[in-house]
Structures are given as structure tokens and as C-alpha cells.
Amino acid sequence: MNMKKYLLGILFIATLVPQTVAAYKFLDSSATKLNKSTVLFTITYQLGYGKYGIEAPVGAIEGNSTSSAYITYGIYNEDEARITKGKFSSVVLSEASYREAQYILAEREVEQFKLVVLYTAPDGVNADDYFLRVNSLPFTLTYADKKFPNGLSSGEIKSYVTPKTGTPGA
């Protein structure tokens, strides 16, 4: 009986201790062909980190710069060659608070974000077997009025990829 009370006491205390939340987490991705040359790509992820607040970009741009203040992404073909021609439109959506082109998360706050990219290939080009890969995902940790620029490492960002678009009817 004493052992049972002891285990119940430990379990109760464990529920009172705040859990550390990872700064980032990949949740889902999709690649939807709207027609033969237009694709809607999405990547859903989560941000939030224990005692730190987070500032995350609202904007995203096509490119491979790792020093941009925005999320950078590339669209690639089946040979993993980056596609640079066509029209790219992108935004990051979230229910997080917004201020000065940044989403703002308070300490211990966790929010989901969705990178949405609409890509249209040049005339006469089919967007078959294309996929989107995030090249950089910057964010800033905030604590006691100090800011600590951060972002995902090349190893951490590997899962931020959509499936390939398929040929319609395949």
C-alpha cells in the first residue's frame, strides 16, 4: 500500500512540472496539382519553446539563402534540380499574434504554422514530379528583452519536404 501511495505521489508531482516544448516540429505536408502547370504546396509545422518567446517570419521567398529573414524554399524536379522559372507566391499562415512582419509567441506558447506556396510553371511545362523543400526556417528566441537569432540546422530541416506531385490520373 505504501508503494502505491508513493507511485501516485510521483505521478501527481510529474503532472505539475511544466513540460519542455521543442522549438520546432514538422507536422504535415502536401503537394496538390490544380492543373497541369499549377501546384499548391503546403508544409505545416509547430513552434514554441518553454521559457522563451519566439518571433517567426510571416513571409517566405523562393531561393536557397540561409541568411534571409524570411523562410526560403525551393521547388525541385525528380532529378532534384531546383526550378527557377515560373511564378512563385507564398505566405506563412498562423493564428499566432502578429506584429511588424513577425508572428509573436509568448513564453510557453505553442502555435502551428502553415507555409503555403502556389507555383505556376511556364507555358507548356507540366509540373509533374515536383516537390518543395524548405531551405531555411529562421526564428528568434526572446527572453528578458534579449533576442537570440536562431533557425533550423541543415540536419533538422531535412523533413520539411512535400511529397512529389504526380501525373494526373496516375
pLDDT digits (tens, 9 = 90+) for 84-94: 999 999 999 99
Q: Per the structure block, which three cell numbers stand in for 63? A: 531561393
- What is the arithmetic mean of pLDDT over 137-155? 92
> Which amino acid, one-letter code, is at 107?
E
Q: φ and ψ at 26, to 5 degrees?
A: -75, 135
Using a 10 angstrom Cβ sphere, with 0-12 exposed, 13-18 middle and 19 or more buried, the burial of residue 109 is middle
Domains and CATH numbers, the chain: 16-159 (2.60.40)
Average pLDDT over residues 84-110: 95
Over residues 110-128, mean pLDDT = 96
Query: Mean of the pLDDT values across residues 148-160?
Result: 91
Chain centroid to CA 108: how far? Answer: 18
Tell me what the pLDDT averaged over the chain comes to. Answer: 86
pLDDT, tens digit, for every residue of 50-90? 889 999 999 999 998 888 899 999 999 999 999 999 999 99
Share of the chain above pLDDT 90, in %: 73
pTM: 0.83
DSSP character at residue 52: B
Calpha distance 81→84 (Å, rounded) = 9
